[in-house]
Chains A and B, each alone.
Chain A
Amino acid sequence: MTKSDQGRHRERQDPHWIEWLTGIVSALLVAAILGWLTWEAFTRKATPPDLVVTVLTTEKTTAGHRVAFDIYNTATTTAAAVTVIGRLTDGDRVIEENDVTFDYVAAESKSTGAILFQNDPAGHTVDIRPAGYTDP
């Protein structure tokens, strides 16, 4: 409990036990966060971004086709401005090529996006891959 007088507040000398309980639980939480982060800081190696694309679905849209995908960064460093290129190919012949840019793909995190094609991906080879990134 806090007493206010003349614009100054004075904490009470004889606090209720709940104040100590809250304080001790909070202290344990803060200690746990700091301990966990310190452990991670020592054990986690900084690895450069490692990007993997997984195609999720191919759907027809009003004006074309949508290929939705996941991009997963398995490394412990975030990649910025990640460009993903999607190609429809028939053997060596590229039928259509489109790209999309992710502002960020965070470390050990997943982002989702989609590439739109005019041609039907069915019957062609769909190739979606990350093309590059910058360090944030």
Chain B
Amino acid sequence: MAGETTSADDAKNEFNSFVTGLGRGVAGALFLALPMLMTMEMWYLGFTIARERLLLLLLLNIPLLILLAHRIGFEETFTWREAIRDAIIAYGIGIVTSVIVLAALGLLHADMPVSEAVAKIALQSVPASIGAMLGRSQLGHDDTEDDGKETPYHGELLMMAAGALFLSLNIAPTDEMMVLAYKMSIWHAIVVTVLSIALMHGFVYAVSFIGGHELEPETPWWHAFVRFTLPGYVIALAISIFALWIFERLGDSSAVEIMLSVIVLGFPASLGAAAARLIL
């Protein structure tokens, strides 16, 4: 008798914590994707984005979500099967949240071509699903849980890529990005590059945030700079190129012009990469 009651309670608790996880997912999707849901360029992309590039973005989002789920997830995930389940749930929350918000803001209507509506929702579901996945870690993170955990080197690099992708998705579609690249001189770009790298390193190692990284006292500072910060910056630039390509921002420009826009986008992307190392 007593055993049955306990198992019923357990099932109820599990159900409750799952619903709480869903709620946090919706909250995370809203917090993190609302800026994009309310950006004009993101609505226009719904009918201008090349469909094969959108498909590539949607497909790449799946392994990214699985990796994030494996690390944070809605619940403690220990197996890849659970991580895949959590990733699917996060994608679902992302899609549903995008549909509800886009519809509530009057951006979806019945006389709109189906392909346009679907592309709009699909595009927004990418940041919304990452937001849903981060919702749990941001809003209900229990810091003691990662005690004694070891992150492999490629894990650190992947987290940086996820952070860089999230911020570049926010900023790459906006026209301001290109205007900045057009207005700045090459000297400005060099300053932005140095500033991005310095801030990345400073945020993670120098400023003592919770989740910050430190070195063994006897390790010189440039060890971490070469092993983590510089690869992180290269990843941020690569993600910037990818985001600009997805949103067709590269065009028929000369190499220098492309480099300037990549460096401009690399600034938020590198901060995103640094933030990911602190938060995740």
Binding site for B on A (CB under 8 A): 1-11, 13, 15-16, 18-20, 22-27, 29-30, 33-34, 36-38, 40-41, 44, 46, 78, 80, 103-104, 106-111, 136
Contact = CB atoms under 8 A, between A and B. Distances in A.
Nearest to B224: A11
Contacts of A29: 234
Given A8-B213, A22-B157, 5 more contacts: A5-B147, A34-B193, A36-B259, A78-B183, A106-B178
8 contacts: A1-B150, A7-B210, A20-B227, A23-B228, A40-B186, A78-B182, A108-B253, A109-B252
B183 A136 contact: yes
Interface string B169-198: 000000100110011011101100110010
Interface in B227-260: 227-228, 230-231, 233-234, 237, 251-254, 256-257, 259
Q: For B215, B228, B230, which residue has the most chain A Cβ atoms within 10 angstroms?
A: B230
A26 B234 contact: yes
A78 B231 CA distance: 32
B226 A34 contact: no
B256 A40 contact: yes
A108 B256 contact: yes
A8 to B, nearest CB: 6
The secondary-structure label for the interface of chain A is: mixed
Q: For B148, B151, B234, which residue has the most chain A Cβ atoms within 10 angstroms?
A: B234
A110 B223 CA distance: 43
B190 A11 contact: no
A23 B156 CA distance: 13
The secondary-structure label for the interface of chain B is: helix
Given A4-B146, A111-B252, A11 B228 contact: yes
B253 A37 contact: no
Contacts of B224: 11
B92 interface: no
Contact of A10 (B214, B256, B257): B214
A10 B213 contact: yes
Contacts of A78: 182-183, 257
B211 interface: yes
A36 to B, nearest CB: 8
A26 B230 contact: yes
Contact of B147 (A6, A15, A27): A6
A80 B230 contact: no
A37 B251 contact: no
Contacts of B190: 34, 37-38, 41
Given A23-B230, A108-B256, A109-B257, A30 B197 contact: yes
Nearest to A78: B182
B153 A106 contact: no
Contacts of B148: 3-5
B111 interface: no
A89 B201 CA distance: 63
B212 A9 contact: yes
B150 A4 contact: yes
Q: For B146, B233, B254, B259, which residue has the most chain A Cβ atoms within 10 angstroms?
A: B254
A13 B219 contact: yes
Contacts of A5: 147-148
A101 B157 CA distance: 43
A27 B244 CA distance: 23
B143 interface: yes
A38 B185 CA distance: 11
Contacts of A46: 185
B179 A136 contact: yes
A11 B234 contact: no
Contact of A108 (B143, B152, B183, B254): B254
A119 to B, nearest CB: 30
Contacts of B231: 22-23, 26
